[in-house]
Amino acid sequence: MSVDTTGSRSAAGPADFDSHRFDAVQLIRIKRGGGSLSAEQIRWLIRAYTLGIVADEQMSAMAMAIYFRGLDESELPVWTQAMIDTGERLDFSRLGRPTADKHSTGGVGDKITLPLAPLVAACGVAVPQLSGRGLGHTGGTLDKLESIPGWQASLSNEQMMSQLRDVGAVICAAGSGLAPADRKLYALRDVTGTVEAIPLIASSIMSKKIAEGTASLVLDVKVGSGAFMTREDDARELARRMVELGEAAGVRTVALLTAMDTPLGLTAGNALEVREAVEVLAGGGPGDVVELTVALAREMLALSGVDVDPAEALRDGRAMDVWRRMIRAQGGDPDAPLPVARHQRQVFAPADGVLTRLDAMAVGLAAWRLGAGRARKEDPVQAGAGVEIHAKPGDAVRAGQPLLTLHTDEPERFERALESLEGGFDVSADAAESAPAGRGATGGSVVIERVS
């Protein structure tokens, strides 16, 4: 393959593809100037990029042009569909049961998928949940489940279908066949500063979810310091565009905007989060995790036309039964002790007062630096590493009381983790002044808004 003077690549694509139909540089110029790409141009670009005819450097320039200029209401559905068309589409229509899935844009301590999938399945709706591994400060669902001894993330499409029939819930790795254009483009965006573009995030998430074949989809769009979207307006815009894409593709879709200023629950880290998810399934667990799990379950059931109270299925142990079967079906032992990190260190309250802020990003970075997350896709993660939280915003604390326990197998990691927590929390001596602890904190609601 060689690059000619105009920057366009000469490579022969498959016989049905005209690699000379458009010129990548010309398309980049249109978008750079704020113009609209035609449906034909978009389809050509995505296919040519997936085939390696449009070069990475050209697609990087296009992603940057989109970062600044956006994709308009006519471009975005075509862009998303073109990404779907680069791969396979799963079909659960023969399952004989409604299907619903949830996608979270990612947050700190976000273990909601773990109790949610078995809970919704226990209420009669099948949950095909194709998940990913974590990158950066947000954890990945597969990394969490892999801390359960024996549990396997990879399933064939046939295994997935049979588990959905038998158990009703599957959480497994998304195969490389779903929207391969997104896989390639996401890796490129990750290294070119173009992840945070609303149309690119919307098309990336929705191409995979639509290709996955779920009938209904609930989106958990996080907003706050520990989320992709730190401003509510941006999160609302992302939610709106994803809901429109889903509905246009025939997937019943709603979104909840939820708070991510402080970590969800009391743990961030793989095995630590599994432990907390099991507490929720046992009818306990932190209030914010229970609230969000039940809120998302209600939306998934409502979209599927099932009138069952999910809170009851948590209380009476039905969701726990499905969890145990789901873990066993993928080789895991739900009764095996979870890994515990070899070293612990505590962070103490500096004064008497009220904890007024515990920053999600600071805790997420600390968990990551302790070994719970990875810097590069191929890095291993530690199952036991992470942060245990002993007080949430709004809680009264005493000087010297432990606020956090840090866990890692490698004690040399403590120093960098502690650095990321510097300035990450505030204790106010004046309890009255600090009363409004913020959403997601003790007593506040995690759900900010519903977008449909």
Query: For residues 8 and 86, which CB has a smaller minimum distance to ligand URA in the complex?
Result: 86
Residue 204 contacts ligand URA per CB under 6 A:
yes
Sites for ligand URA among residues 1-30 (CB under 6 A): none
189 is catalytic: yes
DSSP state string for 89-103: ----GGGSS-BEEEE
Question: Alpha carbon of 116 to those of 50, 124, 278, 279, 320: distances in Å?
Answer: 34, 13, 11, 13, 11
Query: For residues 167 and 179, which CB has a smaller minimum distance to ligand URA in the complex?
Result: 179
445 is catalytic: no
Query: For residues 78 and 205, which CB has a smaller minimum distance to ligand URA in the complex?
Result: 205
Catalytic residue among 101, 110, 143, 182: 182
Contact between residue 100 and residue 303 where contact means Cβ atoms under 8 Å apart: yes
Total of chain residues touching ligand URA, rule CB under 6 A: 7
Helices and strands, number each (H, E), in the chain? 16, 15
* Smallest distance, ligand URA to C-beta of residue 195, A: 6
Stretch that binds ligand URA, among 5-13, 51-59, 201-209, 414-422 (CB under 6 A): 201-209
* Smallest distance, ligand URA to C-beta of residue 190, A: 9
Which element (helix H / strand E) includes 326?
A: helix 318-329
Q: At what angle do helices 24-32 and 39-50 cross, to 10 degrees?
A: 130
Question: Alpha carbon of 293 to those of 112, 177, 446: distances in Å?
Answer: 6, 29, 11
Region class of 224: left (phi > 0), else alpha (psi between -120 and 50), else beta = left
Residue 446 contacts ligand URA per CB under 6 A:
no
Catalytic residue among 208, 209, 222, 324: 208
Catalytic residue among 19, 131, 203, 204: 204
Q: Per residue, what are the HEC states of 182-234? A: HHHHHHHHHCCCCCCCHHHHHHHHHHHHHHHCCCEEEEEEEECCCCCECCHHH
Angstrom distance (rounded) from CA 196 to CA 205: 13
Provide the 3-class DSSP secondary structure of residue 173.
strand
Binding map of ligand URA across residues 72-111, x = CB under 6 A, - = no contact: ---------------------------------x------
Binding map of ligand URA across residues 181-200, x = CB under 6 A, - = no contact: -----x--------x----x
Which element (helix H / strand E) includes 171?
A: strand 169-173
Query: For residues 86 and 204, which CB has a smaller minimum distance to ligand URA in the complex?
Result: 204
183 is catalytic: no
Which single residue brings its beta carbon nearest to ligand URA? 204
31 is catalytic: no
111 is catalytic: no
Residue 201 contacts ligand URA per CB under 6 A:
yes
Residues that bind ligand URA (CB under 6 A): 105, 186, 195, 200-201, 204-205
Catalytic residue positions, numbered: 103, 182, 189, 204, 208
